[in-house]
Amino acid sequence: MKSLRRARRAGSNTLAHIVLSTWTVLVLFPLWTMIANSFKFKYDIYKDPFGLPVKWNFDSYLSVLRDSDFIRFFRNSLVVTVGSIAAVLFFGALAAYALANWRAKPSRWIYAFFIAGMMLPIKIGSIRLLQMVKALGLIDTIWSLYPVYISMGLPVAVFVLTEFIREIPRELTEAAVIDGAGRFRIFRSIIVHLLRPALATVAIFNLVPFWNDLWFPLIFISDDRHKTLLLGVTRLFGQYQTDWSKILAVLTLAAVPVILLYLSMSKQFIKGLTAGAVKG
């Protein structure tokens, strides 16, 4: 029986490794294709789109960094993404702390309201959002993206952080209350420090949709001074021909911050997922 169990366990582990390896290849293959083709000359991409460059072309990167508005677009995306994530983490943590400690029936309805925000795509309200942004006088500025991105990220933040806070032993907060600490002191000194893995999880969950969003910048912004990075990439698409080397160079540079942030926060991200942050 033991040998049979070991054989089954070995078979399941082998199958898991095969599935994960296949999935890894499927995920990394487009990334490899993008990076490899960004170093090719324009016509070499059509000859061999999946192989290594025969002649390495660095002119695309130099042209993007030197002759285009890449730095401005990159700065706009970075400011909007970082600011939106910071606001989501701040307001999401406060809301989650309140909902986790408020046991009355209205708290359940408010929590359900946030969960409903995860199920309904915000893009279905694009026309109404455009009217609201225009009424606020934020049209054609990067400030128009903040309220939209914050509302996009809050449902996930409240869901993850509320469940994480509920897993924290109540003895910790009760001991702080006995010592004379108030609600905000408990939140600042105890809860925030314990929330770091969950905050990293929320940050990574929201990083990719904020950074890669093209829909709302396309609707709200037409001024080149306030365009985000992916919206600026659309300027490289010509009517009759497209320089794919430059486009892939821009996309490769745009992917660098996301990859670096994920690698730097991957331990906290995994810890947040496995420490009760997404338990129902």
Helix pair 105-119, 70-101: axis angle to 10 deg = 150
Q: Give the side-chain half-sphere CA count within 13 A for 98.
A: 11
pLDDT tens digits, one per residue of 123-176: 888 888 999 999 988 898 999 999 999 999 999 999 888 888 888 777 777 777
What are the backbone angles phi and psi of residue 203, rounded to the nearest 5°?
-60, -45
Q: How far apart are CA 203 and CA 208, in angstroms?
A: 9
Q: By C-alpha distance, which of 34, 60, 30 is closest to 252?
A: 34
Contact 278, 206 (CB under 8 A): no
- With H, G, I as helix, E, B as strand and everything else as coil, classify residue 100: helix
Tokens standing for 108?
């359940």
Beta bridge partners of 180: none
Residue 213 CA: distances (Å) to CA of 50, 105, 231, 262: 27, 36, 9, 18
Name residue 123's amino acid. Answer: K
Contacts of 173 (CB under 8 A, 6+ apart): 186, 190, 191
pTM for this model (two decimals): 0.80
Domain boundaries, the chain: 2-47, 69-274
Dihedral sign (CA 177, 179, 183, 189): negative
pLDDT (tens, 9 = 90+) of the chain, 280 residues, equals 566 566 666 666 788 788 888 888 888 888 888 888 888 887 888 888 888 887 888 888 888 888 778 888 889 999 999 999 999 999 999 998 888 887 777 888 888 888 888 888 888 888 889 999 999 888 989 999 999 999 999 999 998 888 888 887 777 777 777 777 777 777 877 888 888 888 888 888 888 889 988 899 989 998 888 889 888 877 766 544 567 788 888 888 888 888 887 777 666 666 655 554 444 4
Q: By C-alpha distance, which of 253, 146, 277, 145 is closest to 205?
A: 277
Residue 209 CA: distances (Å) to CA of 100, 130, 152: 27, 19, 9
Dihedral sign (CA 223, 216, 77, 73): negative
According to CATH, the topology of domain 69-274 is MetI-like fold (1.10.3720)
